[in-house]
Amino acid sequence: MNTLTSIKIADIYRWLEEVKDPEIPVLSLVDLGVITNVNVEGIHVTVEMTPTFVGCPAMDFMKSEVITVLKKYGVGDPQVDINFKSAWSSDKISEKGKASLKKFGLAPPPSTKDIQLDLNILEHSVCPRCNGTNTEMKSPFGPTLCRSLHYCFDCREAFEQFKPV
């Protein structure tokens, strides 16, 4: 790969579309909303990232994937800065990302504005399979920190929701 002589911020975002959430392979880090800033000065690239959950064990892995992909496109010595300057919220997941989650079988998170008012909204999450709302939350904790467990009485299937946070 040739070394690049000029890089646009939009290029970086396009390349980062290739890096997926390791737990949810249909969702890119850009759509997940964990890429909080991209800074390009000449050919020096710094990507700022923030974890979905402070204890997210996938963060180091995602960081190394970002570096690998940028190097693949010829970015020399890309820097990744993980910080909390722009804290992640599930509201940062793009509309495209929410649609991919649903297709993957994971209920996308409702807006956290509704959650502030009423945590009971979690009790009636929309089933990603049949769109039914006759559901209940089995546990606010699931197989990863960002998912909760639910059951749908309409299609009688268990499902998981990406937690609003």
In the complex, what is the shortest distance from the CB of residue 52 to another protein, in angstroms, rounded to a whole number?
A: 10
In the complex, what is the shortest distance from the CB of residue 62 to another protein, in angstroms, rounded to a whole number?
A: 14
Q: Strand 35-41's sheet: what is its strand order?
A: 35-41, 44-49, 79-82
Residue 118 touches another protein, criterion: CB under 8 A = no
Q: Select from 20, 92, 102, 138 the one that contacts another protein (CB under 8 A).
A: 138
Residue 87 touches another protein, criterion: CB under 8 A = yes
Compute, in degrees rounded to 10, the torsion defined by CA atoms 21, 103, 157, 114. Answer: 80
Which residues are CB-neighbours of 116 under 8 A, at least 6 positions away?
Answer: none
In the complex, what is the shortest distance from the CB of residue 121 to another protein, in angstroms, rounded to a whole number?
A: 12
1, burial (CB in 10 Å: exposed 0-12, middle 13-18, buried 19+): exposed
Nearer of residues 76 and 140 to another protein, judged by Cβ: 140
SS3 of residue 27 by DSSP: strand
Residue 57 touches another protein, criterion: CB under 8 A = yes
DSSP 132: -
Q: Select from 54, 64, 71, 154 the one that contacts another protein (CB under 8 A).
A: 54
Nearer of residues 74 and 142 to another protein, judged by Cβ: 142
149 in Cβ contact with 160 (< 8 Å)? yes
Residue 149 touches another protein, criterion: CB under 8 A = yes
Task: Calculate Rg over the CA atoms of the chain.
Answer: 18
Binding residues for another protein (CB under 8 A): 50, 53-57, 83-85, 87-89, 112, 119, 138-143, 145, 148-149, 163, 165
